[in-house]
Structure 1
Amino acid sequence: MSRTMVVTGAASGTGEAVAGLLRQRGDRVIGVDLRNADVVADLGSPDGRLAFRDQVAEHANGSIDGVVAAAGLAAPVPGTVSVNYFGMIATLELLRPLLLQSSAPRAVGVSSMSSIQPLDAGLVDLLSQGDEARALTRAEELAADPQVGQLIYPATKKAFAQWVRRAAVSDEWAGAGIPLNAIAPGMVVTPRTAPFRATEEGREQMRAAVPMPLGGFADALVPARLLAWLVSEEKTHVTGQVVFVDGGSDAVIRGDSTW
């Protein structure tokens, strides 16, 4: 049976890959991005998020079966805070009423293995408090210094992963029968990571920071396949999980510390 799926970041990278997989499976996909999408919206602004909600509801006729929140930024700039955390959560929360109309609703977002790397704990705290204005101010302070600006991205990904863990078991999600999860990719070959992979020196730095003993850097289809399964009907009892699809980076860096 065809299902209606919303995929943000659908114009490129992992979002484009998962949208293609879902369409091959026979699902109807409502793609969302800044351009070249069914719904053109800026998830980095409050007004853009509301416009996104209204447009998706119109395209979907009030009901959807799954959400794949894959839109994100990797740049060491304040806008990464607005898209990767507040835009990601808004995507999931604003579409939750549409998911309630489905007999098998599913939701998943994209975190990152960078969530276990060095980050700015103060920014994580502000994100967890839901204070977008203060979080942006903190990000501006970090971005002013290139040495610490790189701490913005992993902070947004850790805060999002923590939100998923908290929200997934709440009355609004698990209590309403909606599994909510996230994935944490390693280094994926997408336009977003192209600057890091442009030189052999850059690639070596990435290999050192993101060790992937199984398979090396991943094609976008690798995380896309996991995302497609996480919004499938057959996936029933997995919720509140941040699933690492990282070629072993988590195991290399953290060892057995999760037990």
Structure 2
Amino acid sequence: MTHPFDLTGRRALVTGSSRGIGLAVARSLLEAGAHVIIHGRAAAGAEATAAALAEEFGDAAVSAAAFDVTDEASVVDGIDDIEAVDPLDILVNNAGVQHREPLLDVAVEDWDRVLRTNLTSAFLVGRTAARQMIARGDGAIVNICSVQTELARPTIAAYTAAKGGLRNLTRAMTAEWAGQGVRVNGVAPGYIRTELTQALVDDEEFNAWVLGRTPSGRWGEPEDIGGAVVWLASSAASFVSGQVVFVDGGMTAVV
């Protein structure tokens, strides 16, 4: 009997997967048996990461794609290239960017950049991939949200707005596509230790706040996110759609 978490024979694209959470998610999907397409805006970074993973999982298990997730024409060309090889079964919308500045000082250009990278990209890539998934009557999309989907902190207003919007985009996608075989869910990481957040880990005051605010008493690791994504992408979650699973050590469960 096939294990319900087994992704053998499935092809998965993880946007922004050359490092950090995206890379950890890609590794978890590989370990579950999926073929994973490593994505980056620049071909060199995506190809280097794919090559490193291929040494561990084999050349047949990993490939690379490069396109701009904020540009519709680039997205369409990128997904078409992927589909020309084999169908895309799983999409993980992970690409994102942060901007820290008081809301009164944020330039419109920075606001637009954060929303376009964190929210509009999921719409563009999700819609483009879904057109093919709907035609086949099967597919799974996982949007990487955040605790800022539910909570807010000073200086990250654009990011908070984008991640809150991503939760409702997940619901909107479900409302329109679930009946056609495409399941859409979200995973909302808490404070995760990555190279991009290392400066916050090293900040004694901020680190103390995270440890005190998180019931589990620690920062999350990128590997903590992969299991939830594998579950939502697998047949074990065949009747789960429109949900956002918080992987945050309990942060959003307490006051």
Give TM-score scaled by structure 2 length.
0.79
Q: CA RMSD in A?
A: 1.9
Residue number in structure 1 paired with 2:95 = 71
Give 1:167's match in structure 2, choosing from 164, 169, 173. 173
Runs of 4+ in structure 1 displaced over 6 angstroms? none
Question: Where do 5+ consecutive residues of structure 1 fail to align?
Answer: 120-147, 254-259
- Distance in 1 of aligned mates of 2:224 and 2:81: 31
Residue number in structure 2 paired with 1:33 = 40
- Distance in 1 of aligned mates of 2:205 and 2:217: 20
Residue number in structure 1 paired with 2:122 = 88
The question of whether the paired residues in 2 share the 8 Å contact of 1:7 and 1:69 is answered with yes
The question of whether the paired residues in 2 share the 8 Å contact of 1:80 and 1:152 is answered with yes
Residue number in structure 1 paired with 2:13 = 6
Residue number in structure 1 paired with 2:133 = 99
User: Displacement of 1:63 after TM fit?
Assistant: 1.9
The question of whether the paired residues in 2 share the 8 Å contact of 1:196 and 1:206 is answered with no
1:199 matched to 2:208:
no
What amino acid is aligned across from residue 113 of structure 1 in structure 2?
A: V
Give TM-score scaled by structure 1 length.
0.77
- Distance in 2 of aligned mates of 1:212 and 1:104: 37
Residue number in structure 2 paired with 1:244 = 246
Pick closer, same or farther for the CA change 1:215–1:179 going to 2, 3 Å.
farther
1:23 matched to 2:46:
no
What amino acid is aligned across from residue 118 of structure 2 in structure 1?
A: N
Identity value in percent: 26
Give 2:81's match in structure 1, choosing from 55, 58, 69. 58
1:42 matched to 2:68:
yes
User: Displacement of 1:251 after TM fit?
Assistant: 0.8
User: Displacement of 1:117 after TM fit?
Assistant: 2.1
- Distance in 1 of aligned mates of 2:92 and 2:152: 27
1:114 matched to 2:148:
yes
- Distance in 1 of aligned mates of 2:235 and 2:76: 24
Q: Give the number of equivalent residue pairs.
A: 218
User: Displacement of 1:85 after TM fit?
Assistant: 0.7
CA deviation vs aligned residue, 1:158-209 (integer Å, no higher than 9, x gap): 0110121232122xx112111101111110111222222122123124345x
What amino acid is aligned across from residue 206 of structure 2 in structure 1?
A: G
1:179 partner SS: strand
User: Displacement of 1:90 after TM fit?
Assistant: 1.1
1:250 partner SS: helix
